[in-house]
Structures are given as C-alpha cells and as structure tokens.
Amino acid sequence: MIQVFKSEYLSNLAKKQHSYVLKLEPKRGTIYDRKLRPLALNVAAFSLYASPRTMTEDQKIRAVKVLSGALNLKKSFLDGRMNRDKNFIWIARKLSPKKAEKIRALKLKGLDFIKETKRYYPGQSLGAHFIGFAGIDNYGLEGLELKYNDYLRGQFGMAQILRDAKQRDLLIQESFLQPKNGYDLVLTIDETIQYFAEKALDKAFVKHDAKAACIIIMNPKTGEILALANRPTYDLSNIKSNSLDSRRNRAVSDMFEPGSVFKIVTASAALQEGAVVESDEIFCENGEYRVANHILHDHHSHGMLTFREVIEQSSNIGTVKVAQKLTGETVNHYARLFQFGKKTGVDLPGEVPGVLKPVSRWSGTSIGAVPIGHEVGVTALQLVCAVSAVANDGIYMRPFIVQYIRDQNGDIVEGFLPHPITESINRETASRVRDILVGVVDNGTGRRARIKNVKVAGKTGTAQKIVDGVYSHSKFYATFIGFAPADDPKLAMVVFFDEPHPSHYGGTVSAPVFREVAENVLKYLGASRGN
C-alpha cells in the first residue's frame, strides 16, 4: 500500500515537508551624491516567518501572545497568520537586528528569520523630494527611487532548501540562482550644498510663515543640479507619518505666475530685436497706465527711466511699453526660446510643462500681463534654467540630476553628459542682460542679494496669487532668480516662497536666502578647488 499505491502521494508530501523554494532578494543599488557620499543605501534586516503546519496549537497560542507585545501587532492578525495551512507565512518584514535578536531569545517553536535588507536614508529628510523612497519589497515608489527603479532594484535569485524531520534548514540543493544586485546611481547633487540650501530655506520658511517654499541650485554651464529642496518636507525614515502634500516635489510639479522675474524674457527680446538700448528713456506714467480696459500700476511711481533702470527698479509700466513695441508675437517667441510652456526634460518624475498661451488666445490686456509674468504658468525649475541660459552666454542647458549609473564593481553602465537644448539669445545679448541684472542687485530691487567682493546678477519677482478666479490682495508669490559670480558664473539659483508673511516681496523674502546660500556655496567651492 505504501510503496505502490500511495507512493506518488507520499513522495510529493515528503518534498513539500522537506524542501522549499526561497526567493533570494538582491541588494538594491546605492544612491550617492557627486562625491560618493551615500544618500540612500540598504542595510541588514531580518524578516520573521512561521511554519503553521509544523506547530502545535499550544505553540501557536504562545507565539500569538508573545509576538503581539514584542512586535505591537494585533492578536487577530497573528491568529489569522498562525491558523493558515501553510509551511511558510510572513509574520513581520525587515526587522532591525536588535529586534530580531530579542525575538530569537524567546525560542518560539515554528518561527525563524530570513536575512533581507531594507532601505536606509542617512540624511532622513535631506534631499527627500528628489531621492524619493522604496517600499517594503525594495521597489521604488517616488523620486529617483521610482524613476531609476529598474536599474536600482536588481534581479531576484532562487534557492531550494532541504529540511530535516524537525523542519530545520540543512543545505541548499543544486537548484540555486544567485541574485543580481542593483546598479548604483551617482548624482550631480552635492550633499554639502544641499545642506546649505535646506538650512537657509528652513530658517526663512519659518521666519516668513510661508505656505510652501522651494530652492534649486544649478551649474549654469552644464545643467547639473547641485541642490533641490522644498518646504514642507518629510522624513524618509518614517513615510507613514507624512502627508501627501509634504511629499510633493513642488520644484517640478507646481506651477505659478512668476511675476517680475519673467521680465528677463522681455528684456532679452527687446535688446536682441533692437527695440531699445540700455540708455533709452521711457516715461513710466507716474505709476498708472491703461492697457485696453485695465489700469496697470507700478509699486512705486516713476517718471522718466532708462531701459536699464526700468529693469533695475522693476517697473511694470516701462516693461509693458517696451513689449508693446515688440508685439505679443515677439514676446511669445522669446518665451518659447527660453523653453517656457514645455517640460525641461529633467530626469525626475512628475514634471509639468507649465502654461504659455499662444498669441491667438491672448486677450486685449495680455500684452500688459504676459511681459511682466502674469497669465503665464511656470515651475521653479523652468526659472532657474532660464536664468542659467543668460549666465551661460545664451545657451539653454537641459537640467539633469544623475551623472552616471555604475555596477557593483564601480564600472560605469551608463553616463549622462551636459546637453545644450537651444540658443535662447545670442552671446552679445546675454552679456548685456547680465550687466542689467548686476544693476538690479547693485542699485535696484535685488540689493539684499549682494555679496561682499562678489558680483551678483539677479531679478526679483512678486506676484499676486489667483484665488477663486481673481487676483488676491493678501496672498503672493515671492521669487528671486540669480547667478554668481556674474562675470564667471559658478552657480545659478531660484528661491521661491508661496504666501510669505508679513513681507511678501521677492527682494525682501527670497533675495536674502540667495545671498546666504550663494555666499556659503562659493566659499565651499573655492575650498574644494583648493583641496
């Protein structure tokens, strides 16, 4: 009966009892900054499993009682696990070595551990919005962890394990497939520059009681993103306690009306098209100017200003008068040359293209709005790319955040080089606009961005928010874009605040953050070159 009639049944039962197939998890690749400092890596963890078929009722009852307290798990959950007719069932995944050791000391029958790894983020919230995070199965869910998941994750292996009559693991059989570990990412981000940026942004975010904030630092000559941060932020080591809003990468996914920082487009168009020269005088109507059925205002009343002073003092009326000479088609054309209204192509998920209406959809008042940054939707990343083009002799570079991908031996699998997209303006025009932007910082609205012994170029922006379809008189966006040193730019930056209080001007809220960060970064870059 045993050897003949029940032979096949009993053989299969024995195989199930005395061997099982185990998936072998690969090590997820590490994410490094540009100096190979780890921003995300895998550390040892231990996952607890049970073999309910091998356990007596008393052993199951004891396990449920002890584990509910040790792991803070509901008894109903553990009862459900223990009463399943299986040889293998997960109880808790990715426990720390310390917690695993405590549970081992309890000597519970029918339970054991499998060594795995879990994601660890040394900086906790540092760089959270571009790093993103991976889930319990080491699968990327947001940020670079998601974007480059196929490279980082690796490939699972497989092992067939033999067990003795007491269900103790004995050895690995011949059917063994080694897991293939994931590739590493090496970023353009510099952890030290990231720290400078986040520290200054944090301080100003609290000081001005803002709803949100963003900072991006870029090498204008290459498009390499050196730092990127948003507020509010979140802790990568404790995802469940953070809201969806705090996890949004506002730098690429939120668009807003830029206000006067957009005047770099109008100024570039006017100079390159020969509509004005820097010394041309423009009457700024003493602060009030009608455009179609709308009255345009300046923050301060101005009479005659040169074109240079129009940009330095951020006169809306002077800028619009120049735009009227250019026509809407020309302003729109240069806005598209600066890549507004389209994605930058950055290697981060969630980027939006912004809004730049075709001239055919302009209203009678659009010529008084678009040239000064209204009726336009932009992202913070688009702004820093645009001002970088001015810094880079008119050449617009594609922004990127991953330098190269390498294997576990350190060999490069794929590299990413600086990539010019287009010539937004010619070299001569870029030089003239740079000179005007230096004047904005030296003599105009951007004085609070000045750095001792460093020539800084920049532009302030303050824009009313649209609330319920109308412009608010109490809610604003405050922005500063700039680069330094102006004569040989090492960095370009955008600093943006949403609803700062009580001050709401780009020159008073955002410019000081630029100054603090740029000063620290330039010192750091100088020291790095010295070493």
Beta bridge mates, 229: 215
Q: Is the pTM of this model over 0.85?
A: yes
User: Beta strand pairing status for 19-24 and 288-291?
Assistant: unpaired
Q: How far apart are CA 132 and CA 247, in angstroms?
A: 8
Domains and CATH numbers, the chain: 19-55+63-69+84-187 (3.90.1310.10), 191-530 (3.40.710.10)
Residue type, 132: G
pLDDT at 20: 60
Query: Omega into 358 within 30° of 0, i.e. cis?
Result: no
| 395-429 residue pLDDT tens | 999 999 999 999 989 999 999 999 999 999 999 99
List Cβ neighbours of 246 (8 Å cut-off, separation of 6 or more). 232, 233, 234
pLDDT at 498: 97
Average pLDDT over residues 314-319: 96
pLDDT at 227: 98
Average pLDDT over residues 195-209: 97
| 66-100 residue pLDDT tens | 999 889 899 999 999 998 888 788 999 888 888 99
Q: How far apart are CA 205 and CA 497, in angstroms?
A: 8
pLDDT at 531: 44
Distance, first Cα to last Cα, the chain: 82
Average pLDDT over residues 202-225: 98
Q: Which residue of the set 47, 125, 260, 315 is catalytic?
A: 260
Residue type, 104: R
Residue 116: C-alpha distances to residues 88, 278, 427 (Å): 16, 65, 55
Residue showing tokens 């024995």: 14
- Nearest CA-CA partner of 99 in 138, 124, 67, 141: 67
Q: How far apart are CA 519 and CA 262, in angstroms?
A: 25
**Is there a contact between 74 and 55 (Cβ–Cβ < 8 Å)?**
no
Average pLDDT over residues 512-528: 93
Which range, 115-119, 316-320, 408-412, has the best average confidence (pLDDT)? 316-320
- Nearest CA-CA partner of 445 in 486, 493, 483, 480: 480
| 243-266 residue pLDDT tens | 889 999 999 999 999 999 999 999
Residue showing tokens 């396990």: 63
| 119-178 residue pLDDT tens | 999 999 999 999 999 988 888 999 999 999 999 999 888 776 666 555 555 444 445 677
Active site residue 260: yes
Q: Is the pLDDT of residue 354 over 70?
A: yes
Tokens of 346: 């950055």
Residue 289: C-alpha distances to residues 192, 215, 315, 390 (Å): 48, 34, 11, 30
pLDDT at 432: 98
Q: How far apart are CA 390 and CA 70, in angstroms?
A: 60
Q: How far apart are CA 408 and CA 350, in angstroms?
A: 29
